[in-house]
Amino acid sequence: MTMRRRLPLFLVLALALLLCRLPAAAHQGPPFPILVDRPVGPYVASVWTDPDIGTGTFFVILDAPKGKRLPAQTRVRIGVRPVSGRLPEVLYDAEAQPVRHGARYYTAVHFDRGEMWHVRCLLDGSAGGGELRADVEATPDGTLGPLGSLIYLVPFLGVGGLWLKAVLYRRNAGKAVAQTPQRP
């Protein structure tokens, strides 16, 4: 098969792969802290979040103050509501995650729009509890969809084009050398 016949086939195959792409479960960025080492009840708490529009995530990290131990039973809930007041607060129960030291809780929350949201972290345990408050801005998750795939494909197409140009140049240079008459 000649190079001229392979190129259209390659382009059709590349276009088909682009249009029939499978969704990938990718994380777009690390969570960031909104509250760090805040004393609340019998805990020292830190709250980290990745507030993406759609599904945002929250991590609550608990430690005991120096010389004390964490209470055995702890319940962590995250409450979110828009600063504008257009929706009532929704509470989400956070699940404990295994860690070597302290305690970590995780929950996913729903942000329907990109705007500022009030966040409440409610802690309740056998030795007491407390509440932490902060505000976060829900932002797009950073994916560009099919447009992003095209944008990220441009450098590879450029390198492929240069490679193709080099191959064609070498082929034509080889033909030119073969066709030059030899001197006796």
pTM of the model: 0.64
Say how far apart CA 76 and CA 92 lie, in whole Å: 9
pLDDT digits 0-9 by tens, 82-104: 999 999 999 999 999 999 888 99
pLDDT digits 0-9 by tens, 126-175: 888 899 999 999 988 766 667 777 787 888 888 899 999 998 888 888 77
Complete domains list, the chain, with CATH: 32-136 (2.60.40.2480)
Bridge partners (DSSP) listed for residue 43: 40
CB burial of 104-130 (b: ≥16 within 10 Å; e: otherwise) equals bbbbebebeeeeebebebbbebeeebb
